Amino acid sequence: MKIGVPRETAAGEKRVATVPDVVEKLVKLGFSVAVQSGAGEAANFADDTYRAAGAEIVGSAAELWAGSDIVFKVRPPTLDEVGLMREGGTLIGFVWPAQNPQLMEALAARKATVLAIDCLPRQLSRAQKMDALTSMAGVSGYRAVIEAANAFGRYFNGQITAAGKIPPAKVFIAGAGVAGLAAIGTAAGLGAIVRANDTRAEVADQVVSLGGEFVKVDYEEEGSGGGGYAKVMSEGFQAAQRAMYAQQARECDIIITTALIPGKPAPRLITAEMVQSMRPGSVIVDMAAEQGGNCELTEPGQAVVKHGVTIIGYTDLASRLAKQSSTLYSTNLLRLTEELCKAKDGVAVVNMDDDAIRGLTVIKDGSLTWPAPPLKLPAPPPKPKAAAAAPAPKGHGHGAGEPMSAKALAIVFAVGALALLGVGLFAPASFLSHFTVFVLACFVGYMVIWNVTPSLHTPLMSVTNAISSIIAIGALIQIAPPLAGDAGGRPNGLILGMAVLALVLTAINMFGGFAVTRRMLAMFRK
What is the number of residues in the chain? 526
The pTM of the full predicted model, rounded to 2 decimals, is 0.71
- Average pLDDT, stretch 189-193? 96
- Average pLDDT, stretch 19-31? 97
Model confidence pLDDT, tens digit, residues 130-156: 999 999 999 999 999 999 999 999 999
Contact yes or no for 356/127 (Cβ under 8 A): yes
3-state helix, strand, coil in the chain (%, to 5): 45, 15, 40
- Supply the pLDDT for residue 221: 76
Residue 91 pLDDT exceeds 90: yes
- Average pLDDT, stretch 245-256? 97
Q: How far is CA 187 from CA 228, 258, 460, 486, in A?
A: 23, 15, 39, 71
- Supply the pLDDT for residue 497: 80
Cα(523)–Cα(276) distance, integer angstroms = 45
- Supply the pLDDT for residue 397: 45
**How does DSSP classify residue 224?**
B
What's at 3, amino acid-wise? I
Quote the crossing angle between the two packed helices 457-467 and 493-522, to the nearest 10°. 150
Burial (0-12, 13-18, 19+ Cβ within 10 Å), 26: buried
Residue 456 pLDDT exceeds 90: no
Cβ-proximal residues to 85 (8 Å cutoff; 6+ apart), any chain: 65, 66, 71, 77, 91, 107, 110, 112
Cα(113)–Cα(524) distance, integer angstroms = 52
The closest of 200, 210, 193 to 258, measured between CA atoms, is 200
- Supply the pLDDT for residue 100: 94
- Which of 28-42, 250-264, 452-466, 476-490 shows the lowest mean pLDDT across its residues? 476-490
- Average pLDDT, stretch 509-522? 78
Helices of type H across 90-154: 101-109, 132-152
Cα(199)–Cα(174) distance, integer angstroms = 9
Cα(215)–Cα(134) distance, integer angstroms = 24
